[in-house]
Amino acid sequence: MATTYLYTATDKIEVINCARCGVQFGVVEEWLDRRREDGKRFYCPKGCLNVYHDTTIDRLQRRVRTLEREESELRDGLRASKRDTTTARAATTRVKNRAKKGVCLYCHRTIKQMKKHVEDKHPEHVGA
């Protein structure tokens, strides 16, 4: 009399194709996830060698390097923007200080009546 064994599978099976011969076979999902992560070899039912060369760790390491490079570029851009802002503020402050002292912004002469001078000598800049 033959003995019958009853097995109830609780693991999820994922169907994959052999990379070499194309035969379909099923493996436990957790096991396949580990192979994708560790890049270890495995064989199809016909004996063909299969391996995931691009492991999860490799992909994540590449992503980390990409993000670090992007962060560095953003930081460099931020530094450059801050330098540009500082330069522009300094130039604006210099112009304001010269104007307060009565120095013409266009011909660099000291003028007592700056407004009148600009209206008389530089009408193209009035209202600008």
Q: Is the pLDDT of residue 10 over 80?
A: no
> Which pLDDT does position 5 carry in this prediction?
64
CB atoms within 10 A of CB 104: 16
Q: What is the pLDDT of residues 114-127, one digit of tens each?
A: 777 777 888 887 66
24-28 vs 42-43, strand pairing mode:
unpaired
In the chain, what is the straight-line distance between the N-terminal and C-terminal CA atoms, in Å? 106
3-state secondary structure of 29: helix
Q: What is the pLDDT of residues 32-52, one digit of tens each?
A: 999 988 889 999 999 999 998
Q: Is the pLDDT of residue 110 over 70?
A: yes
Selected residue with higher pLDDT from 58 and 64: 64
Q: Is the pLDDT of residue 19 over 80?
A: yes
Q: Which residues contact residue 19 at a Cβ distance below 8 angstroms, ignoring those fewer than 6 apart?
A: 48, 50
Q: What is the pLDDT of residues 90-102, one digit of tens each?
A: 999 998 888 777 7
Confidence category of residue 53, pLDDT binned at 50, 70, 90: confident
Confidence category of residue 7, pLDDT binned at 50, 70, 90: low
Q: Which residues contact residue 109 at a Cβ distance below 8 angstroms, ignoring those fewer than 6 apart?
A: 103
Q: Is the pLDDT of residue 22 over 90?
A: yes
- Domain spans, the chain: 13-53, 57-123
- Report whether 48 contacts 31 (CB < 8 A): no
Mean pLDDT of the chain: 87
Q: Which residues contact residue 111 at a Cβ distance below 8 angstroms, ignoring those fewer than 6 apart?
A: 102, 103, 104, 117
